[in-house]
Amino acid sequence: MANPSLLILAGDGIGPEVMAEVKKIIGWMGAKRGVHFDVSEDLVGGCAYDKHGTPLHDDTMAKAQAVDAVLLGAVGGPKYDVLDFSVKPERGLLRLRKEMDLFSNLRPAQCFDALADFSSLKKEVVAGLDIVIVRELTSGVYFGEPRGIFKEGNERVGINTQRYTESEIARVARSAFELARKRNNKVCSMEKANVMESGILWREVVQEVHDREYPDVALTHMYADNGAMQLCRWPKQFDVIVTDNLFGDVLSDMAAMLTGSLGMLPSASLGLPMANGRPKALYEPVHGSAPDIAGQGKANPIACILSFAMALRYSFGMGEDATRVEKAVEKVLADGVRTADLMGPEGGTPVSTTQMGDAIIAALDASL
């Protein structure tokens, strides 16, 4: 039986630094668990533009389509701000999502007990928080046509079109309901059906999919602006939230900060099943390339490590090992090990990016 295949695209800024710590865990999996991966590496984002004049070379795109999963670090940086929109680093990531048809973006927001004081909300509001936002990723206002900046009379007008088909809504709804069945069997769908026709269709289709295929899952509907308020008021009322591309972008960033640090949060972007029955998938930390700290050993690798744990669970069917990695992270944090972004008034043991990775490896060793 062939080893599972993984394409690593470390990208720009702190991407290579945090990805180096994931490689340690991949090596540990082979040495200590007898689980080996066929790993290949390539370029995406600014580094790909520097070499190829494009943020994602066609050959890299072909590799991404062929492997079991893609693990991405981060893209972008101020040196690329002057580039034409069509070749900015972020276009490489968008192309991966679009051409792999990764329509379902899973962004967990989990608040580890050791970090409950880091949230801007009261500890009792966020302690124990464990929710997932399922964001539709390949349609909606970011991709709808017409779009662009046009001249109308004596002024310019910017146009973006919010567009969804029934099938696009139905498939991301199924993704949310399937996830809910593995968690607490509860989904809240968010849109703006009070002012947007696309929101009306969204609500109708989600309800139809529920009634026809998932009547066992508790479903509620909420306007997205109220959802934002409720996330700040009492986020633990939610379990799985499903929403469109634009609202998902905003709400998942809001949920991310409930946990105290973007350096802690992973994500998975999933598509339709491949021949082996597992979905096409791309895993990446929520944080950006953080060029201001790149190369200084200050980056927190936990989000990238937890993204790999998501790959173990969703792409490779290794739920036990995924939990093992997650528990190792939890243990290290409980022991007070802290990268710079996690140093609060209560102190802790300050460590570099590499030292955090080493501490997690030690916790993994202790778990055997």
- Is 32 an active-site residue? no
202, 145: one domain? yes
Same domain, 194 and 232: yes
Give the contacts of 177 (CB within 8 A, at least 6 positions apart).
187, 209, 210, 213, 214, 217
pLDDT for residue 96 is more than 90: yes
Note the pLDDT of residue 112. 86
Pair 36, 156 in one domain:
no
SS3 at position 106: strand
Which residue, 131, 122, 138, 215, is CA-closest to 179? 131
Burial class (CB in 10 A: 0-12, 13-18, 19+), 276: exposed
Could you identify the residue written with the tokens 């949230």?
119
Query: Within a domain: residue 147?
Result: yes
Examine residue 98 and state whether it is found in any structural domain, yes or no. yes
Residues 364/309, Cβ–Cβ less than 8 Å = no
Packing angle between helix 353-367 and helix 319-334, nearest 10 degrees?
A: 120
pLDDT, one tens digit per residue, over 27-65 is: 999 999 999 999 999 999 999 999 999 999 999 999 999
142 is a catalytic site residue: yes
**The last residue of a domain, from among 208, 225, 258:** 258
Of the residues 117, 225, 239, 358, only one is catalytic, namely 225
- pLDDT reported for residue 32: 96
Interval 130-160: pLDDT, tens: 999 999 999 999 999 999 999 999 999 999 9
Domain span holding position 60: 1-106+263-368
Question: What is the band of 23 on the pLDDT scale with cuts at 50, 70, 90?
Answer: very high
Task: Work out the average pLDDT over 8-36.
Answer: 97
Nearest to 303 by CA among 75, 71, 5, 128: 71
Asked if residues 274 and 293 have their Cβ atoms less than 8 Å apart, the reply is no
Assigned token pair, 327:
């528990």
Query: Residue 225, class by beta-carbon neighbours within 10 Å (0-12 exposed, 13-18 middle, 19+ buried)?
Result: middle
Q: What is the pLDDT of residues 189-202, one digit of tens each?
A: 999 999 999 999 99
Q: What whole-number distance in Å separates Cα of residue 193 and Cα of residue 200?
A: 4
Active-site annotation holder among 68, 80, 88, 192:
192
Catalytic residue among 244, 249, 321, 341: 249
Q: Please indicate, yes or no, if residue 116 is contained in any of the structural domains.
A: no
* Residue 283 among the catalytic residues: no
Q: Do 84 and 154 share a structural domain?
A: no
For residue 120, is it within any domain? no
Catalytic residue among 253, 327, 335, 358: 253
The number of distinct structural domains making up the chain is 2
Length of the chain: 368
In a domain? residue 195: yes
Confidence of residue 86 (pLDDT cuts 50, 70, 90): very high
- Same structural domain, 337 and 359: yes
Q: Are strands 266-273 and 104-110 parallel, antiparallel or unpaired?
A: antiparallel
**Is 287 part of a structural domain of the chain?**
yes
Catalytic residue among 80, 142, 214, 283: 142
